[in-house]
Amino acid sequence: MAEKTKVRLKLNVPIETLVPGRHTFIVPFDEGCAELIGEIVIYWGAFEVRMDALMSHVFDITGKRPNPNWRKQPFGERKKLFRKLMREYTSRMFPSLTKKFDEIMDVADDLQIKRNIVSHGYYQTAASPSDAAGVSKPVIIATGEKQKQFITINVETLGQLWHDISHLVGELIACVNEMGGVVDGNDIVLCDDDFIGLSETAEPKEFSFRRLVANSKKE
């Protein structure tokens, strides 16, 4: 008979949601993990929506006629379309940004895999090595069905992924801003350089950002 493992769980299950005779599935996330997963989903969606909006605008101004159903294609296909379209467009109009858009999509390749594992992966609860009292802590692991890769779900890993995606969206919008345009919606993009080195007790600063995209009124 396999040895039993004692795992200490800290659960926050509202009593009023429990139903006699029913069973409740639990993923014992550390505090803050569920919120970060939500942010990862939202921020990745923000990237895809803005990528598509930029493509749509370039199609309009160049007169190109893509597949009418291009928006419904999987991200991988739209990503290839974006690369080709932006290389052709920027090589003529904004050659200094051609490499930058390529770099953005290179980063997106890796982040999409991680995002998909976090959003759609198979979540399992394992146990950490036992402490002196023979008690383990839960370890949450998400495995990708297609990629067969896994991510250990904790605040540090999720926080880094969220910020990597945040930078990805920020760089995309900054490029659009550099071209003199905006993407649909009121987007706030801050330049990290303006905040690096500031102490937590620093006096509030006022900025006049030319790198801040906050006006999307259509002409």
Query: CA of 139: how far to CAs of 57, 130, 156, in Å?
Result: 45, 12, 13
d(CA 141, CA 131): 20
pLDDT value of position 193: 80
Q: DSSP letter at 136?
A: E
Q: How far apart are CA 53 and CA 211, in angstroms?
A: 19
Specify the pLDDT at position 110. Answer: 93
32-46, 65-79, 199-213: segment of lowest average pLDDT: 199-213
Contacts of 102 (CB under 8 A, 6+ apart): 83, 87
Question: What residue spans of 22-135 are helical by DSSP H?
Answer: 33-62, 75-93, 98-120
> Do 176 and 182 meet the contact criterion of CB atoms below 8 Å apart?
yes
Give the span between the Cα atoms of 24 and 13, in whole angstroms: 9
Please enumerate, as own/partner, the contacts of 209-212 that have beta carbons within 8 Å and a separation of 24 or more: 211/174, 211/177, 212/188
Taken in order 156, 28, 15, 135, the sign of the CA dihedral is negative
Angle of helix 155-178 relative to helix 33-62, nearest 10 degrees, comes to 20
3-class secondary-structure state, position 122: strand
Burial, 34: exposed, middle or buried (Cβ in 10 Å; 0-12, 13-18, 19+)?
Answer: middle
First-to-last CA distance in the chain? 72
Task: Report which residue type is found at 212.
Answer: L
Q: pLDDT tens, 135-193?
A: 778 899 999 977 678 999 999 999 999 999 999 999 999 899 888 876 555 677 878 88
- At 18-34, the pLDDT tens digits run 899 998 888 888 889 99
Residue 84: the pLDDT is 94
pTM for the predicted model, two decimal places: 0.82
Give, as one character, the DSSP assignment of residue 211. Answer: S
